[in-house]
Amino acid sequence: MPPEQLHQMVNWLNQQIGYLTKSIKEARQSNNYGRELHYEGMRDAFMIFLIKYVNTNGEKEKS
C-alpha cells in the first residue's frame, strides 16, 4: 500500500476511534449499556486492526 494511502487509512481509523470513544461516554451517561457495549466492540476492533496493521507496515503477516 502506498504511504499516502496508509496515512489516510490510519487517520480515518483514528477519527473513528475518537468518535466511538465519545459515543461510549455518551451512551454510559444515558445508561444505554447495549449501545455502549456495541461501540466498545467497534472501537476495540479498530484499535486491534490499527495496531496489527501499522506494526506490519501494511504487509500481510507471514505464516
Q: pLDDT tier at 63 (50, 70, 90 boundaries)?
A: very low
pLDDT at residue number 29: 97
Give the angle subtended at the CA of 45 by the CAs of 1 and 31, to the nearest 5°: 145
Residue 22 has pLDDT above 90, yes or no: yes
Confidence of residue 23 (pLDDT cuts 50, 70, 90): very high
Cβ neighbours for 13, distance < 8 A, ≥ 6 positions apart: 46, 49, 50
**Hey, what's the cell of 35?**
449501545
Q: Is the Cβ–Cβ distance between 20 and 39 less than 8 Å?
A: yes
